[in-house]
Every structure is written in structure tokens, then in C-alpha cells.
Amino acid sequence: MNRKKRVVILGGGYGGIKTLETLADNESIEVTLIDKNRYHYLQTESYNLVALKSSLDDIIIPLDTLVKGIDKNFCFIQDEVVKVDTHTVTCKEGEYFFDYLIIAVGVKTLLPSIFRNEHLFEVKNLSNALHLKHSFEDTIVKHLKKEKTHTNIVVVGGGSSGVEIAAEMQNYLLKLNLAQEIQISLIADAFLGELDEDSRKKALQTLQNSGIRILQKMVQKVEGNNLYLEDELIAFDFGVVAIGLEASEFIKNLGFEKEKNFLKVDEYLRVDEHIFAIGDCVFLKDKRGETLPQTAQTAEQSGVIAAKNILRTIQQKPLIKANIKIYGLAIALGGKFAIATASFVKVDGILGYLGKKAIEQFYKIPLKLKS
Ligand SMILES: Cc1cc2nc3c(=O)[nH]c(=O)nc-3n(C[C@H](O)[C@H](O)[C@H](O)COP(=O)(O)OP(=O)(O)OC[C@H]3O[C@@H](n4cnc5c(N)ncnc54)[C@H](O)[C@@H]3O)c2cc1C
């Protein structure tokens, strides 16, 4: 009798979990998920956590129960991978053999040295997101206790992450009638480049109407609690940095071909004959050769293709070419406002909000049930 093929997945994020789901209920394989953390982190909802709208339980799902809920024969190991060889991964606490490997370890926040400051936080990492949430709470309490008369919060980064966090914090301040005294400034050289001109204008107008200062400027330096722009100094209490992404040291050290430090894959998402790579850690392109943004939807689609291609390799069937698409975008703009765009539809305000919530719940509820 043929031995079952051993599939190892590195990383239980959006891509890794979709891969597991696609591989479930298959007699010919045994599957192990390895992640350095014990939880699946719903990064796409981190803005709710930071702005005190949700708790830890809303944005993490335990990986051990989730993996068993997807397929009771699958196995989860908490360990941090440091090295990949032809058929073995080396982690901090053990070595694991594989016939097929999927690398899905995501990325980290780009943090140039000027932003390495104890008062600035990022949200890709759960611990940092929690520090940020506590700083926000602490700042509000200090203000209410009159320990401060004027308070500044800075958000650096004009992409959807920065915008969503600034918008939700502002909404919270509005509810407490503190938005006049606690000023949020959103600083970037460009805003919401992922949206068309009309939607971008609408989104920025909504943010401005809510009282957020939009500053289209470059940060020159940050010293202690002082943030320097070309023509202005902002004395801030705490801040958020969401200016971009970069590959982790683990990915940078892998001996596979790269583009801008991210893994380069072939049309079947392979970096090697038996090794696939998916999600944020890959420089993904669409069928026309255009670079795809690093999003949960691209991570999930690439996970499905890689899983199918592993099964097809085992069955000696021709592999499927990746054809990853962006189906739409939904960006929260605070409270019950959001902007959602898809190929033929564009909605904003409460409809956009309902669209955004539906996408989040449609993803989260089945996983919570499985877990
Ligand atoms: C604030 C914010 C809002 C966002 N909003 C949206 C949105 O609305 N829509 C959207 O589509 N996308 C959104 N994104 C982007 C989305 O979260 C990412 O594109 C997605 O998480 C990528 O999935 P992934 O599986 O590649 O990586 P991740 O989800 O980051 O998962 C990587 C996993 O690998 C693990 N890992 C890392 N290194 C190692 C190691 N060495 N050993 C073992 N395990 C390791 C990590 O613990 C993690 O569990 C948002 C991101 C942020 C930060």
C-alpha cells in the first residue's frame, strides 16, 4: 500500500487556512500546519480592536481547535520555522519532514528607522495592536481626568489600514464628545491609491467631515513625542505606522528566487518542484502580468490553487495555472460608513458598511463554528 503523502503548511493566516480547507477530507495525504502563534489573527478586523469596538475573542481563532475542526486528522504544531531544505523544515523546536510544502508566512510592517519609536505602533502584529488599543484607552482616560488639555494622535500611512484605524478611532472620540480636543492627524504622501478618483475623493471628504486632519506631507523625523513634517511639528501622545510591508527575515534568507525580497513563483505557484508559496510573502501577478496587492483575497485564492496543484501532482494530473483576481475592495470610514467597490458596483455610506460587515462575517462565522 502506498504511504500517505505528507503536506506541511507554514503559516496559519488567510492563505494557510484556505489551503487547509481545500485539502480537507482527502485520504491520500496527511497535513500538518505549523505556526509560531497559537491563533489565526483576523488582521482585516484589527481596526475594530484598536478603536475599542471589539475584544480579543473577536479577532483571533485558536489554531489547534480550528485545524481539528477543518479535518480531525490534520495536525497543528506551534513552532517557528527558520529554515527550509529539500524535504525538511527546521523550526526552533523540531525538524519536520514533508513531501509537499506550502510557504504562507505573510510579511511584516515596513518600519524604517525614523519610525522605531516607543510611542509608535503597527497592527500586523497582535501584541502591537493590543499596545495600540491600550494607548488609545489610556490617552482618553488621561484626557478625561484633565491630565492633559490638548492631545494629538498621529496615523502615518494613507493606505486602507491607516485610513480604517484613523476613521474608527475618530468615530469613538465623536461618541465621547472628545473629537474637538483629541485631534487625529492622518499623514501620508498619497491616500487610498487602491481606489478610483471619485471614490478616493468621497472617502477623504468623509474623513475630513468627521474632523480628521488630512496632511499630505512627508514625515521628516520623529524624536520622542515630536513628529516633524516639512513645515510643522506635532507633539503627539501616540501614533500608528502603516506605510507598507516588507518580507520577513525568514523569507529574505530562503535560497529561492525573489522579487523585491518577496518569493517569486512559477505560474503554478511553485518555488521548487515540491514547494509552493502563497499569500503576502509572494510577489503575485495577475494574468496580464500586473502586480497584485497583498490582500486576504489574493492570499486565499492562491491557497486554493496551491492546494489543488498539490493534489493534482499526487494524482499525476496537469497543474492549474494561477489566475488570481481582485474582486473588489471595502474600506471602513468610521461608524456605519464604508466604501465598497467591485467591478460593476460602487456603494458608500451605510450600504458600504453593510457590504464590509457581510464580507467580514462571511469569512469569520464558518471558521468560528469549525473551531
Ligand atoms: C489593518 C489591516 C487591514 C487589512 N484589511 C484588509 C481587507 O479589508 N481586505 C483584504 O483582503 N486584506 C486586508 N488586509 C491584508 C490581509 O490581512 C493580508 O493580506 C493577509 O493577512 C495575508 O494573508 P497571509 O496568509 O499571506 O499572511 P498572514 O495572514 O499574515 O499569516 C501569516 C501567518 O504566518 C505565521 N508565521 C509568520 N512567520 C512564521 C514563521 N517563521 N514560522 C511559523 N509561522 C510563521 C504568522 O504567525 C501568521 O499566522 C489588511 C491588513 C491589515 C494589517
- CATH class of domain segment(s) 5-107+247-326: alpha beta
Task: Tell me whether the CATH fold assigned to 5-107+247-326 matches the one assigned to 113-241.
Answer: yes
Given a cut of 90, whether residue 172 has pLDDT beyond it is: yes
Decide: residue 230, CB within 10 A, 0-12 exposed, 13-18 middle, 19+ buried. Answer: exposed
Q: 3-state SS of the chain: helix, strand, coil percent to 5?
A: 35, 30, 35
DSSP assignments along 286-340, one per residue: -TTSPBPP--HHHHHHHHHHHHHHHHHHHTTPPPPPP-----EEEEE-STT-EEE
CA distance 32 to 367: 18
Q: How, if at all, do strands 29-35 and 5-10 pair?
A: parallel
Question: What are the pLDDT digits (tens) for 27-47?
Answer: 999 999 999 999 999 999 998
Question: What are the pLDDT digits (tens) for 84-140?
Answer: 999 999 999 999 999 999 999 999 999 999 999 999 999 899 999 999 999 999 999
Confidence of residue 1 (pLDDT cuts 50, 70, 90): low
CB 60 within 8 A of CB 42: yes
How many percent of the chain have pLDDT more than 90? Answer: 82
Residues with a CB atom less than 6 Å from ligand 1 = 10-16, 34-37, 41, 43-44, 46-47, 80-81, 104-106, 123-124, 160-161, 248, 250, 279-280, 294-297, 299
Model pLDDT, residue 211: 96
Given a cut of 80, whether residue 344 has pLDDT beyond it is: no
* All structural domains of the chain with their residue ranges: 5-107+247-326, 113-241
Record: fold of 113-241: FAD/NAD(P)-binding domain (3.50.50)
CA distance 149 to 259: 49
Model pLDDT, residue 99: 97
CA distance 196 to 153: 28
What are 282's three cell numbers?
A: 509572494
DSSP assignments along 261-281, one per residue: TEEP--TTSEEETTEEE-GGG
Distance 240 CA to ligand 1 centre (A): 18
Given a cut of 70, whether residue 279 has pLDDT beyond it is: yes
Residue 302: which of 282, 317, 327 has the closest Cα?
A: 282
Question: What are the pLDDT digits (tens) for 237-264?
Answer: 999 999 999 999 999 999 999 999 999 9
Q: How, if at all, do strands 275-277 and 233-235 pair?
A: unpaired
Question: What are the pLDDT digits (tens) for 361-371?
Answer: 999 999 999 99
Distance 281 CA to ligand 1 centre (A): 9
The helix (H) or strand (E) run that includes residue 260 is none
The helix (H) or strand (E) run that includes residue 225 is none
Confidence of residue 353 (pLDDT cuts 50, 70, 90): confident
For a mutational test of ligand 1's pocket, the pick from 295, 325, 357, i.e. the residue with the most ligand atoms closer than 8 A to its C-beta, is 295
| Largest CA-CA distance found in the chain, in angstroms, rounded | 75
- Dihedral in degrees, nearest 10, Cα atoms 36, 37, 43, 48: -160
